[in-house]
């Protein structure tokens, strides 16, 4: 992965951190809008979804930070992918998650979600999801 790609993702994610709870809400709203059949895979209560959103943002922050050391990040992603199989996550869901992630970043970053930043995030998510899919399926 190119250093510039990593830098763009890491710098743009720093701007998302202050709005992490809102970003998580946007993400899940977009995810369920894109594929309503995914909703039963998640908790139904508001408190449980807030907790799920916190987990999402914590995991995303760790993954973004880990881009500087892919050798350490890859085993973490593989373990996460294997756990997601137990939650009935299918390989096809990764595309929907990627679309929801990009939509969330666009909403959260506004004008700062430039085409260059979007491409960087799409590239990073593509690498991460491929690692996860290969590990899980």
Phi, psi (5° rounding) for residue 14? -60, -30
The answer to whether 78 and 71 have CB atoms below 8 angstroms apart is: no
Give the pLDDT confidence score for residue 123 in this predicted structure.
Answer: 97
Print pLDDT tens along the chain (137 aa): 899 999 999 999 999 999 999 999 999 999 999 999 999 999 989 999 999 999 999 999 999 999 999 999 999 999 999 999 999 999 999 999 999 999 999 999 999 999 999 999 999 999 999 999 999 99
Instruction: Give Cα separations from 79 to 39, 55, 98, 115, 118 (angstroms).
Output: 23, 15, 19, 31, 27
Give the pLDDT confidence score for residue 1 in this predicted structure.
Answer: 87
Q: What is the CATH number of domain 3-136?
A: 1.10.490.10
Spatial separation of the C-alpha atoms in residues 97 and 32, rounded to whole Å: 10
Give me 82's structure tokens. 């294997």
């Amino acid at each position: 992965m190119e250093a510039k790609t990593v830098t763009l993702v890491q710098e743009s994610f720093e701007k998302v951190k202050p709005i992490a709870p809102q970003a998580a809400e946007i993400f899940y709203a977009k995810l369920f809008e894109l594929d309503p059949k995914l909703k039963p895979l998640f908790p139904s209560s508001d408190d449980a979804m807030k907790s799920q959103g916190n987990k999402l943002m914590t995991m995303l922050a760790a993954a973004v930070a880990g881009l500087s050391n892919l050798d350490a990040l890859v085993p973490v992603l593989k373990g996460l992918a294997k756990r997601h199989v137990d939650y009935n996550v299918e390989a096809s869901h990764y595309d929907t998650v990627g679309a929801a992630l990009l939509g969330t970043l666009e909403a959260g970053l506004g004008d700062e979600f430039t085409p260059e930043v979007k491409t960087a995030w799409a590239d990073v998510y593509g690498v991460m999801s491929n690692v996860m899919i290969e590990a899980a399926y």
